[in-house]
């Protein structure tokens, strides 16, 4: 018996068996890895489909949203909710150079709806400078005495906040600043920024109305007259 030959043959078989087991193990690992890759690809494909579907849904919602916003906008335009007005005022002077509204008028830019007020400033504190200034204004400008008026000055804030306009045009930065103190939530626009000329250039229509008080004086110094003059320019230049 060839002892050495038998031993070599046994060793060879053992090596072959080990190799087969090793290859089998590696093959199993490769198959498992391929399965994992396949599952991962499937998951990614499903996620991609979900994302695509979500994008389509978002686009549909956006389209419906645009339609809805357009409908709201058209409804607002029809109902006139987004309204604007032109306001003018004449002031008297208080202490510390504080401007106080004496006369005020407002007119709707889309209609002829108007309101007019003359305020009593009798409770307002004055110093020597303001008294002299107000006397000069009374004699040479608006002819309105401090004590004269049909409503107390303390009602000004309540009146301004009762106005239902989204936008108010005024002529002059100082008037805009006076209003901002009471109605900062309203869009206030100095109409001079839109190119509106000086009042003496647009207050040339003798047919425009004024308040009862200024009928006896100079109608063109009346805020009621001025808002109609400014409105006329605004309509012709819009």
Q: What is the CATH number of the domain that holds 117?
A: 3.30.420
List, for residues 7-58, the tens digit of each pLDDT value. Answer: 555 666 665 666 566 656 656 656 665 565 566 556 555 555 554 554 455 4
E strand or H helix that includes residue 112: none
Q: What percent of the chain has pLDDT over 90?
A: 48
Collapse the DSSP code of 160 into the 3-class scheme (helix H, G, I; strand E, B; otherwise coil) and give the result. helix
Dihedral (C-alpha) 160, 165, 167, 171: value to the nearest 10 degrees? -50
List, for residues 190-224, the tens digit of each pLDDT value. Answer: 999 999 999 989 988 888 888 888 888 888 889 99
From 80, 95, 113, give the residue that closes a domain. Answer: 80
User: How distant, in Å, are the alpha carbons of 1, 13, 20, 29 from that of 7?
Assistant: 11, 10, 20, 33
Domain-embedded: residue 6? no
From 43, 59, 80, give the residue that closes a domain. Answer: 80
For the whole model, what pTM was predicted?
0.65
Domain-embedded: residue 2? no
């Amino acid at each position: 018996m060839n002892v050495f030959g038998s031993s070599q043959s046994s060793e060879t078989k053992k090596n072959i068996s080990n190799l087969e087991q090793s290859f089998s193990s590696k093959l199993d690992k490769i198959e498992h890895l391929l399965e994992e890759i396949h599952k991962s690809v499937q998951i990614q494909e499903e996620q991609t489909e979900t994302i695509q579907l979500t994008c389509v849904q978002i686009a549909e919602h956006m389209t419906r949203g645009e339609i809805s916003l357009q409908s709201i906008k058209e409804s607002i335009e029809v109902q006139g909710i987004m309204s604007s007005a032109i306001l003018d005022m004449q002031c008297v002077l208080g202490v510390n150079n504080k401007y106080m509204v004496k006369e005020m008028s407002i007119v709707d830019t889309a209609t002829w709806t108007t309101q007019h007020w003359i305020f009593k400033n009798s409770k307002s504190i004055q110093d020597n400078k303001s008294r002299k200034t107000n006397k000069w204004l009374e004699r040479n400008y608006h002819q309105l005495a401090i004590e004269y008026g049909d409503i107390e000055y303390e009602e000004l804030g309540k009146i301004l906040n009762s106005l239902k306009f989204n936008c108010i045009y005024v002529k002059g930065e100082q008037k805009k600043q006076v209003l901002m103190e009471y109605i900062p939530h309203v869009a206030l626009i100095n109409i001079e920024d839109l190119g509106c000329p000086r009042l003496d250039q647009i207050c040339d229509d003798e047919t425009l109305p004024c308040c009862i008080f200024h009928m006896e004086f100079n109608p063109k110094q009346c805020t009621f007259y001025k808002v109609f003059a400014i409105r006329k320019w605004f309509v012709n230049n819009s």
